[in-house]
Amino acid sequence: MATNEHRTASAPRRRRWLIAALVLLLVVLPAGAAGGLYWLVEQDRNPTADSGRPGSWVTTMTSAEISDFAQVPIPAGASDVRWGYVEGFQDDTAVMAFRLSADAVDSFAAGLGGAQWKDAAPAPRNSALRDLRHIGAPDPSGVLTLRRGIFVSHQPGHTKRVESQVWLGSRTGIDPVQVWVYAMNVP
């Protein structure tokens, strides 16, 4: 009879341990998953200092690869070069920003193949320019003169075309001129 009493006394204990283990599993597992997701999002928003692309979307592409994607060369005298890349569900997007001396702007603009240049709408209304904040590019809202050039190019070895939008702007009308580039696959 001692063994039956022992079994009946240990059964509630086992159930309690089982319930405690299940509750622990149901609480700890989601909390761990949430913590892991939070860490991944923070790593994407704040890449390491040595990535070369502060605040970039994806840190696996070089500035040369972004330049090739957008078909916009980065001039030798460019400074404060920043870039980012997003691989989308169907289309990829690349952004780039750099500064040029006022002397180099005309030759840079002329080197962009079939770009159609015109005065641009005020910067705050343009969503493409707002996307450039992901790479830490200067805010274009205070720019005095803003010109935009748009052109479509074909990437070698790819079936999709890339539409590139390039903005040139200066806050003071003198050095340096800020260049913003937004490029996206188009059908």
Residue 137 has pLDDT above 70, yes or no: yes
Residues 37 and 82 placed together within one structural domain of the fold: no
Pairing of strands 92-100, 177-186: antiparallel
How many domains, the chain? 2
How far is residue 50's CA from residue 38's CA, in Å, rounded to a whole number? Answer: 21
How far is residue 119's CA from residue 71's CA, in Å, rounded to a whole number? Answer: 21
Structure tokens at 3: 């063994």
**Residues pairing with 97 in the sheet:** 82, 180
The CATH number covering residue 107 comes to 3.40.1000
Residues 82 and 118 placed together within one structural domain of the fold: yes
Residues 11 and 64 placed together within one structural domain of the fold: no
Residues 23 and 78 placed together within one structural domain of the fold: no
Residues 107 and 16 placed together within one structural domain of the fold: no
**The pLDDT value given to residue 56:** 41
Predicted structure pTM score: 0.65
Residue 116 has pLDDT above 50, yes or no: yes
Residue 142 lies in a domain: yes
**Residue 70 exposure: Cα atoms within 13 Å on the Cβ side:** 30
Residues 23 and 112 placed together within one structural domain of the fold: no
As a whole number, mean pLDDT of residues 96-119 equals 85
Structure tokens at 69: 């994607």
Residue of 177, 153, 151 lying closest to 166 (CA atoms)? 151
**pLDDT tens-digit profile of 71-85?**
899 998 898 898 888
Residues 36 and 69 placed together within one structural domain of the fold: no
Residues 17 and 106 placed together within one structural domain of the fold: no
Owner of token pair 């022992």: 6
Task: Print the domain residue range for 99.
Answer: 56-186
Residues 23 and 68 placed together within one structural domain of the fold: no
Residues 161 and 111 placed together within one structural domain of the fold: yes
Residues 37 and 110 placed together within one structural domain of the fold: no
Residues 136 and 168 placed together within one structural domain of the fold: yes
